[in-house]
Structure 1
């Protein structure tokens, strides 16, 4: 007798709360959406802590309303009754495209009992077990594909590196790959996104909330389990993520256990990133593409909000062609797709372009030197000079002259600075910016902020040590295995990674680099929105570095001095693409 309910509705056979037994005997619960009719079908799976029964429209109304308002065609092909945050819509993928869609509540979340420990080795093993379970079901053709946004992209990198035999292809859409560098500690500085995210998106749907949680409108069942347990019982079954992330300042076992060996990935990869994914949803896609061991891999970079291109018809069509080829075996021409698909960003539009590699082979790596005296970015090294700013301040901005011709920058960016501090450490926040002829800054709709600048980079000066084996001229790679405090007043050479970008500056536009001791704030009044979905938008969304325990004022609010000159050739390395 089945320990779950099956019904036929809206052109699908739906199995609600299917039990999947893990290697340690724990049981997770999944909803399985199957095409009608006998047969064996390919599968798309997501596995995560957001509660499979929580409707997109209810749990994330701010994003749903924006998608409905700005991109109505993305929602026009479905009743949207089964939409869930950052996962595929089964009405489209199951009923129309012929895939089994499987949504699994990860251990301790939603309808699955247990202890929540996000992105942990235990959770990755659970995901592995779910894939192997799906590959042997009577309705399965043995080929599982993984898809999904953000968290559902991050854990794709993780589980693919464990090589489940039934895993056939992955499409990580805007998700970090390195838990330390991409997500939690940018340049060694704690990002408080995860501390804010945890109670809102994870513990809010913890298994055991029962009647204190919401209900699934499609089943009437409580999304966080039938039992209503006291808060102290729930607290005992969830990892203390804020305490863990504050305590682990280096790239130690805590982070290494949550960061996959990308070189171990063998299945075909379609990595889809966002130029505006600053702080979480960008670096993982480019690094994942470059470092994945797969012989068949593709990179696609786009813009707009974090969720938009996952749901648009065009965005779905790309994923469908990829999965149809590798999960259904269709000879649909996917193998002829260029390895790199770029939506090259202009101030007012995107232009699609196919490329053969990343970074682009024809890149002209060009240095612009920072002049501490004139606050300029120039093509030749300046004379000796220095400039200083307070640690907790907007810092100093360096400017190019107006562009005489159109300039395209597409690729990774790096900076070399020579700095001294009045204290034993300093946090460096670098912001690459673009300004029009009349001085107005160009800000872009990003993954989770409507007012992003061009690019960001970060480094804690005591984390300046490089990993020589992984560093590239255009992408410094810091070891983060020890802290090396500064001697106040002594000058130190710092190599700083700035996340990849794409921007075409028209003639007359200026590029600027801000070096500061705090997160960027565009500070614009008037028509530009200051809030979005109830969250204050400063250009960084929730990807802030504002934890007083991590950044005590007595250490990080000192005087930072920037030194330039022949002995201190501080510069910005830019990926110039010839016209």
Structure 2
């Protein structure tokens, strides 16, 4: 989509300076303009003629952006150019490409704002716990300004600074600080709405844009050393301001959640506590390579957010130092701050949520809801604002506020309500095993033995069992297979479904593995055609009840688009059925729950 489809433009000049104003036809497209038409992109668009700085000024009431292009024209009285005033530059800028993916992301942001979700409201959670009902009245207005926060290398990040206000001016005094949603989505205005309720209750909030986004100079390089150092510098800058007490927390969702937990392992001295929502444990494993197989759905995000990574990530198919610096798993000993670990059982980071909790259980409380990836407000059983405020009041403001009633608050899928446990998996859970057999049965004991095969190009194996008693899967699952491939390498996808009496299926969980990664993602293990190997495939954790009468269905194939690329490798996958092939899960009997 071209810019002229959603906006018009006018150009002016003064000596060697050109200015271009871009005006959205519709108010609802202004956020898309803010995201896509940055000063950096305008300078790149006019790289052949712009010799100076490009400045961007926002005119939200007009739904417009004004760009000042310094040292661009040759001077209207000294030039022989046909367009000495640069009037055609506005038409040229309207040819700027605005990607469909970015438009969809902006639409999501707008939907989030329209739903009131960007400004958290009361929770809709049906759990009986004072932590999730905590509240206190607002005391202040909000004063907002866009500022440049200096970084250690002499560059800066554009940030919105929100301070408690009275009569439209910041009030005197020092307040606890929050670094809020440090991400690459060029939507500070949207995320600032989420920070505002804290500011109204006596916090100062900094809403930053990473390098290369939201007019912060540079280019987007997600979660690398530079971005982690910038997170550290943001915390320390805010702590040093006279209007801050020096006690700072950090909070964010998805991209902002990743940066929150990565900043924490770098240990800024004034960072006191964190709330990572839908946050990573390892960028390679959680997001880019599922079981060593490229995640098909992530490319649109890469193209829209960090297009350079389409090449750089492909150059690192193994888990090497490039990925280790974007991981917290090998640095858990440095993650010692109080952490409210929030995710969803339908979210792609639920494995990371559980890993982070289990590695840091002493200082972590986990909340796992019935949520998909993305903004939690507006989804069922919304956590709202209450728990977040209780957390910050306790750790940053020294106010008497509660912690969650249990270390783990988890929603039992699908639709069975909240449960609270002292640990995860629950201490009272045990191991249940299901054995696929040659007759298609998925039994509690080893069934009919044999070798089952399927073509990697579209083939599959299916096994099932009807639950005579209800069972609740609580936590980690894995598939232990004795398997091989007739070709040079093989992809295996394992999918578990809960099928009701009418045949309607709900996915329970899934896992994947490239056979040459069976000994780890940091090296290639040789694959001999027709040889059988003992392979363990981690399956994402869940909290799911299989009710009596439902069917548990296991599908083994080489395809699970869009979770993994459909590579259609040559050869057949061969699985030896019997004692060596099974699904293992931590479970609770239905009667205990």
User: TM bucket by the smaller chain?
Assistant: 0.7 to 0.9
Deviation by residue 1:233-268 (Cα, 9 ceiling, x = unmatched): xxxxxxx21111111111101101111212211210
Distance 1:367 1:199 in 2: 42
Instruction: Report the Cα offset of residue 273 of structure 1.
Output: 1.2
**Corresponding residue of 1:51:** 186
Query: 383, 398, 401: which one pairs with 1:329?
Result: 398
Distance 1:128 1:311 in 2: 31
Deviation by residue 1:178-209 (Cα, 9 ceiling, x = unmatched): 11211111111111333221222346xxxxxx
Tell whether 2:198 aligns with 1:93.
Answer: yes
Tell whether 2:493 aligns with 1:493.
Answer: no
Alignment of 1:334-349 (within 5 A): 334=403, 337-346=405-414, 349=415
Query: 131, 154, 172: which one pairs with 1:25?
Result: 154
**Corresponding residue of 1:356:** 422
Instruction: Report the Cα offset of residue 310 of structure 1.
Output: 4.7
Deviation by residue 1:527-572 (Cα, 9 ceiling, x = unmatched): xxxxxxxxxxxxx5xx4424xxxx4x4xx24211111134xx2000
TM-score (norm 2): 0.72
Is contact 2:254-2:374 (8 Å) kept? no
Deviation by residue 1:360-392 (Cα, 9 ceiling, x = unmatched): 111111111111x11121111123212111112
Instruction: Report the Cα offset of residue 394 of structure 1.
Output: 5.2
Secondary structure at 2:182 match in 1: strand
Distance 1:311 1:125 in 2: 33
**Corresponding residue of 1:399:** 464
Deviation by residue 1:30-54 (Cα, 9 ceiling, x = unmatched): 111111122211222132211144x
Number of equivalences:
445
**Corresponding residue of 1:383:** 448
Is contact 2:221-2:306 (8 Å) kept? no
Alignment of 1:61-460 (within 5 A): 82-84=189-191, 89-95=194-200, 97-202=201-306, 240-260=308-328, 261-277=331-347, 280-292=348-360, 295-310=362-377, 314-334=383-403, 337-346=405-414, 349-371=415-437, 373-393=438-458, 395-400=460-465, 402-442=466-506, 453-460=507-514
Alignment of 1:538-549 (within 5 A): 540=562, 543-546=563-566
CA distance 1:394–1:439, shift in 2 (3 Å): farther
TM-score (norm 1): 0.73
Distance 1:494 1:120 in 2: 32
- 5+ residue gaps, structure 1, are 54-81, 204-239, 443-452, 466-478, 521-539
- 5+ residue gaps, structure 2, are 1-54, 62-139, 166-170
**Corresponding residue of 2:516:** 462
Is contact 2:293-2:564 (8 Å) kept? no
Instruction: Report the Cα offset of residue 93 of structure 1.
Output: 2.5
Secondary structure at 1:124 match in 2: helix
Higher RCO (C-alpha under 8 Å, 6+ residues apart) = 1
Instruction: Report the Cα offset of residue 508 of structure 1.
Output: 0.4
CA distance 1:519–1:26, shift in 2 (3 Å): same
Is contact 1:424-1:486 (8 Å) kept? yes
Distance 1:11 1:419 in 2: 63
Secondary structure at 1:251 match in 2: coil
CA distance 1:4–1:463, shift in 2 (3 Å): closer
Secondary structure at 1:247 match in 2: coil
Secondary structure at 1:380 match in 2: coil
Is contact 1:387-1:561 (8 Å) kept? yes
Is contact 1:411-1:502 (8 Å) kept? yes
Secondary structure at 1:454 match in 2: strand
Instruction: Report the Cα offset of residue 507 of structure 1.
Output: 1.4
Secondary structure at 1:361 match in 2: coil
**Corresponding residue of 1:570:** 581
Is contact 2:258-2:279 (8 Å) kept? yes
Larger Rg: 2
Is contact 1:173-1:310 (8 Å) kept? no
CA distance 1:311–1:93, shift in 2 (3 Å): farther
More strand by share: 2
Deviation by residue 1:475-521 (Cα, 9 ceiling, x = unmatched): xxxx312111311111111111001011112210111111110115x
Larger CA deviation: 313-322 vs 384-393: 313-322
Is contact 2:290-2:564 (8 Å) kept? no
Deviation by residue 1:446-502 (Cα, 9 ceiling, x = unmatched): xxxxxxx1111011111111xxxxxxxxxxxxx312111311111111111001011
Deviation by residue 1:57-104 (Cα, 9 ceiling, x = unmatched): xxxxxxxxxxxxxxxxxxxxxxxxx433xx761332222x33222111
Secondary structure at 2:240 match in 1: coil
Instruction: Report the Cα offset of residue 311 of structure 1.
Output: 6.4
Distance 2:536 2:373 in 1: 29
Is contact 1:194-1:242 (8 Å) kept? no
Is contact 2:495-2:556 (8 Å) kept? yes
